[in-house]
Amino acid sequence: MSSPAGEDPADFLTRRHELAAVVYEVVTERSGSISAEHGVGTTKRDSVERIKSPVELDLLRAVKRAIDPAGLMNPGKVLAES
């Protein structure tokens, strides 16, 4: 997230979770997605846990286990380690 012109970036960043919640709510209402070509990463990881259904989360975990059974590739970056 980038701060609007004229707003202090540090002040803006202190409100990023509040702002993200508003954006995600609107996106969810419109059946949108919180990630695209840039992926999820650590910034949106906790949002994924709230927004995705249990089935989607289980599928994400299954794919991760299939590709990376030892859990060596970017542990905890997309899904919180369980």
User: In terms of domains, do 24 and 64 share one?
Assistant: no
Tell me the two tokens of residue 13: 């960043």
Tell me the two tokens of residue 51: 């927004």
Q: What is the reported pLDDT for 52? A: 81
The DSSP line for the chain is --PPTTS-HHHHHHTHHHHHHHHHHHHHHTT--S-STT--HHHHHHHHHHHS-HHHHHHHHHHHHHH-TT--SSTTSSS---
User: In terms of domains, do 43 and 66 share one?
Assistant: yes
Give pLDDT tens digits along the chain (82 positions): 677 888 888 888 888 888 888 888 898 899 887 766 666 777 777 777 877 889 988 998 999 999 999 999 988 887 877 6
User: In terms of domains, do 26 and 63 share one?
Assistant: no
User: In terms of domains, do 63 and 40 share one?
Assistant: yes
Total structural domains within the chain: 2
User: In terms of domains, do 11 and 44 share one?
Assistant: no
User: In terms of domains, do 68 and 50 share one?
Assistant: yes
Q: What gap in Å lies between CA 75 and CA 64, rounded to an integer?
A: 10
- Domain range for 44 is 36-82
User: In terms of domains, do 56 and 20 share one?
Assistant: no
Is the pTM value of this prediction over 0.75?
no
User: In terms of domains, do 82 and 53 share one?
Assistant: yes
